[in-house]
Every structure is written in C-alpha cells, then in structure tokens.
Amino acid sequence: MTDTTIPQTDSLMASTYARLPVVFERGRGTMLWDTAGRRYIDFLAGIAVCGLGHAHPALQQALAEQAGRLVHVCNLYYTIPQVELAAWLVGHSFADRVFFCNSGAEANEAAIKLARKVFQDRGETDRYRIIAMEQSFHGRTMGSLSATGQDKIKKGFYPLLEGFDFVPFDDIAALRNALDETVCAVMLEPIQGEGGVVCPADDYLQQVRALCDEAGALLILDEIQTGMGRTGRLFAHEHSGITPDIMTLAKALGNGLPIGAMLARETAARAFDAGAHGTTFGGTPLITAGALAVVQTIEKEGIVAQAAETGAYFKTQLEALKERHRAVEAVRGQGLLLGLKLNCEGAPIVDQCLARGFVINCVQGNVLRFAPPLIIGVHEIDALMQCLDEILTEA
C-alpha cells in the first residue's frame, strides 16, 4: 500500500506539503499505525488537534448517531446540535455569542471582519488598522495571511490586505507606541505555536488588555492552538486572569472534525447582523454534534486538569534533557504545548524520532514541538525522553 500511496499522492496532489514517507492507516488513543502495521506514539496530535486522541468512542458514537439523523441543512434554519455546542462554549467562556465555521483560518477571517465592522457601524471609517505580532501565525487565507507576522509564509502572495501593522511579541512598549485612533484591534496568540512555542512574560496579556482598554481598541486572541485545555486551562488567557473581546478556536474543538469558532462579547458581536457574514458548511448538525461530544468529554473526564499535571511532568523531563545536552538551548511552552529549542537543525531529529516510532515536528528550523493528545501518559513521555536522549547523545 505504501509503495502506491506515496507516489500517487505525489503525482496527484498539490505539492503544498513536505510529507514524511509514512502512510498512517489507523489510530487509537495516543497511538498511530502505518500500513505496514508499525506502531507510533503520537506527540503531535495532528498539530494540537486530537486532544482526546484517536478514535475516541464518544466521538464515534456521536457521529454515527447524528449521521443517521441529519447531516446538513443550511444556516437559514435552526438545528439542535449547533445551539447546544454554542451554549456550552458561551457557558464556559467570557463570550455572549458564537459564529461557527470550518477552520481556524476562517475563524480568524471572521474576527478580522467583525473588528472592522464594529467601528464601521459607528461611523469611524478611519479606524480599521489591526496590530498583530511579528512571528505570529493566523492562517493561510488572504485575510489571515495578512495578519500573520512571518514573511516566509507570505512570499509569493503580495499584495496582501491593507491595514495590518506588526510589533515584536512580548514588547509592550512597541505596542503602546503603535496604538492610536486608527487601530480597531490588537490580534495575538497567547503562545506563538508556529512561531517557535514562544511564551510571553507573565503579565504581558494583562498589559495588552489594559492598553486596548485605554485606546478603545478590541482585543482578539487566537486560541486555535492553545485552546480547549492544551495549556492546562480551558483557554490559555485564563492563566493571565484577563478576557478578550473576541476569541478564535478550531483544532482541538473538533478533535479532527473541520470546525472553527469565533466567540465574542455582545458589545462586539452585535455588529454581525443578518447578511454581514456567512458560511455554507459552518456549524452543520453532524460537525457540531461531534464537537459537542468532544467538549463534554473534556469536561466529564477532567482532561484539562490532566493536561496541566502531565504537562508539568513533561516540561520537567525536558529541562532534565537540557541539562544533559549542550545541543538544547531552551525549554519553552506551557501545559502540553511544549518546545525544545536546539542550536542545530531540528528536521533530522524529527526523522530519527519517526524511524524509532515517535511522531513530533519542528518549527522555525530548530524548535522541536510537542503537542500530544491531552491523554498522553507519563510512561509514553518517558519513552520519548529516552529516544531523544539517545539521539542527542549519538549526535
């Protein structure tokens, strides 16, 4: 199967991914199996997506039951799973209203449009600029790409949307200097995942919130990678004790289902009146029924607290690895979104881990990123540490 799948994929699919030479066939829990029957421990979870792991029975059951009842109607009508999921999200967050879409990039598109429309509706037509962060990542659509602070991702797609300015992440003075009466919103990730698993100072989000309040600008938090328990709290901003005006979710919200969500306070959300925005497939009965099963399972099984505890253990083990190997410069992250910054290229280590049965990845060239299912166990972490220790020793 691998002999045919890889060349067929390479000849038929757009060449947008540098794929590793493995064909995954099935998964269960924290494990994946390829077409040769080889088992791997998954420390990537589809890039922070499968928080409950693979083939979770609650998700399987919810999808099977809903598929036999109703898969799709358009958003000109009401459906029960959609409002039940919206009620759960509102009940567990700062938000008053939810907009469902199909991906994180679409959720960020909705956030950008909403932020601008809030001020357009007030007649403040000159207030449209959005300040985003250098090294940020918000998606690959033209709007979300315009808000992304990495030139290498933007290359080849200019001109982008106007009205986006960038300041260094975790530099409150730079943000203060950039804020003026033309800024409608500040947009950032609580932890920059694609930017290298970079965490700001403990009081950074509090200071950003205060500056936005002072300037009358909205605060948009992209929690697509950090949300749904990944950092040891349901949403990463909860560590800072602040709330945004708008928040975007995706990834672990659906545990692999194509769903994104934009959450907002009523003061902002009311700008999205009938016809202001829309989607054909966002929030369909099938997808929201599955996502509802995901969030209810996260709550019922205490997954967030488990991620906090296991993440603390994982980080301690990475710190110990750093003490043993000069190739490791820093340990980054929070909860089960962790990074190991190296003073060498990370891609060869990713390849060696895969060859030894561990799925990880590398961002920014030299940061190994770990975003396993939130149900990962200490024994699996210990196995990865032994693998990395051996690889770094050999190197």
155, 279: one domain: yes
Burial category of 18 from C-beta neighbours within 10 Å (exposed 0-12, middle 13-18, buried 19 and up):
exposed
Write out pLDDT tens, residues 139-186. Answer: 999 999 999 999 999 999 999 999 999 999 999 999 999 999 999 999
> If you write DSSP's letter for every residue of 27-89 in order, what string do you get?
EEBTEEEETT--EEEESSHHHHT-TT-BS-HHHHHHHHHHHTT-----TTS--HHHHHHHHHH
Does 209 fall in a domain? Answer: yes
Unique residue bearing structure tokens 């540490």: 385
Write out pLDDT tens, residues 202-241. Answer: 999 999 999 999 999 999 999 999 999 999 999 999 999 9
Q: What are the tokens at 118?
A: 């809030």
294, 306: one domain: no
Does 213 fall in a domain? Answer: yes
162, 268: one domain: yes
Domain boundary among 300, 333, 357: 300
198, 236: one domain: yes
Global pTM value: 0.97
Q: What are the tokens at 226?
A: 């950090």
Helix (H) or strand (E) holding 133: strand 129-133
By residue range, what is the domain housing residue 79?
70-300
- Whether residue 2 is predicted with pLDDT greater than 70 in this model: the reply is no
Does 237 fall in a domain? Answer: yes
188, 248: one domain: yes
* SS3 state of residue 126: coil
Residues labelled as active-site residues? 137, 222, 251
236, 347: one domain: no
Write out pLDDT tens, residues 64-122. Answer: 999 999 999 999 999 999 999 999 999 999 999 999 999 999 999 999 999 999 999 99
Write out pLDDT tens, residues 366-375. Answer: 999 999 999 9
Supply the CATH number for residue 310's domain. Answer: 3.90.1150.10
30, 158: one domain: no
124, 42: one domain: no
291, 337: one domain: no
Closest to 291 measured CA to CA, from 251, 255, 247: 255
Q: What share of the chain is helix, strand, coil (3-state, %, to 5)?
A: 40, 20, 40
Does 343 fall in a domain? Answer: yes
pLDDT, averaged across the chain: 97
Domain boundary among 246, 272, 300: 300
Supply the CATH number for residue 274's domain. Answer: 3.40.640.10
Residue 124 pLDDT = 97
Number of domains in the chain: 2
Adjacent-strand bridge partners of 28: 31
- Whether residue 395 is predicted with pLDDT greater than 90 in this model: the reply is no
Does 61 fall in a domain? Answer: no
308, 291: one domain: no
Does 359 fall in a domain? Answer: yes
Cα 301 to Cα 44, 232, 298, 305, 307: the distances in Å are 21, 14, 6, 9, 11
Domain boundary among 280, 300, 320: 300
74, 33: one domain: no
Does 64 fall in a domain? Answer: no
* pLDDT band at residue 292 under the 50/70/90 scheme: very high
Does 65 fall in a domain? Answer: no
207, 92: one domain: yes
